[in-house]
Amino acid sequence: MKKKFLTFLGFSFDEKENYISGFTFLPFNWVIVIGGLALAISIIFTGFFVLDKTERAAIEVFGAYKYEVGPGGIHFKLPLVSHARKVPTEMRRRWELGFRTNDNGKRDEEIPSEATMLTKGGQLGSIYWIFQYTIQDVYSWLYEVKDPEEVLNVLSQGSMRLVAGQTPLDAFLTTEKIEIQEKNKKLFQDYCDEIGLKVSIDEVKLQDPGLPDASVQQAYDEVANAMKLKDANLNEAIEYHNKIVPKARGEAAKLINSAKEYYTTQVNGAKGEILLFEGVLSEYKKDPVTTEQKLWYEAMQEVLPNAKKTIIEDNSMLNIKTY
């Protein structure tokens, strides 16, 4: 059987010595050569594959998951019967909701069915946002959740609508954007964990929320500007306070010290006059006449030098001298 097969391939035998004596290239040999080359090329191009540094891959054999490779590098799988499903696990992916951007990154389409929401208090608002996520597990992404991107889309809308229903519209438009983003991010992540979708929600970011009515939007813009002006005026007032109050306190301290000095001077002077009066009173009690005359002379000595004086001599109106 073996000898017949080799003869079929083109080999010739020495019948006496029973060994291969030659080879003739038959037309059928081209089929073998071409088939061999095709098999080699198939092994090279379907057996080897390349992952970039952001990718992992799940290897399927006859459609069933077998193992995981990556991230990055050149890998081998069984040709023809196996398939590599690549997943970008090492990079953040971005998803837009309520709007779409063009290739230049500019918003060129709005999706009212995603953006329009009912906020606390019964007001309608147009909420636009993005979220960024990272795939944490290849098997979970490919096999445990059907259409995971659509699931993320639905979960993100659900979490944002729940937060919007608990939040007044002016909070979206003015001062509470950061708090809303963080609250939504946590709720979104909880939803993913609950259903077993192993992704990390890296960021939720509002994109200039608005109002369906342009005139109402203008009114809210004016409110936001007024709040900014209020903050500016408050900062200016604080700066003025920090500048004026220390100066006023210094002047107040100076006036207080001056008042204390005046008080001390006046009180001490009054105490001295009291002591003087008590001394005079004591002398008066001892000798009233002499003390009275002494006080009269002292008073005259103080008054007369600065007063205009008229002296009448010898009881005569003719001898009048004025000094």
pLDDT tens digit string along 195-221? 999 999 999 999 888 776 666 667 767
pLDDT tens digit string along 23-57? 444 455 545 556 666 666 666 666 778 888 888 89
Residue 28 C-alpha from the chain's centroid: 75
In sequence order, the 6+-apart residues with CB closer than 8 A to the CB of 19 are 13
Q: Is 112 within 8 Å of 106 (Cβ atoms)?
A: no
Please tell me the predicted confidence (pLDDT) of residue 26. 46
In sequence order, the 6+-apart residues with CB closer than 8 A to the CB of 176 are 167
Mean pLDDT of 117-133: 88
**Beta pairing partners, 182:** none
Quote the Cα angle for 227-228-230, to 5°.
Answer: 60
Every domain of the chain and the residues it spans = 2-87, 93-212, 221-272, 287-322
* Domain spanning 93-212, CATH architecture: 2-Layer Sandwich (3.30)
Burial of 284 (0-12, 13-18, 19+ CB in 10 A): middle
Please tell me the predicted confidence (pLDDT) of residue 163. 94
Please tell me the predicted confidence (pLDDT) of residue 17. 47
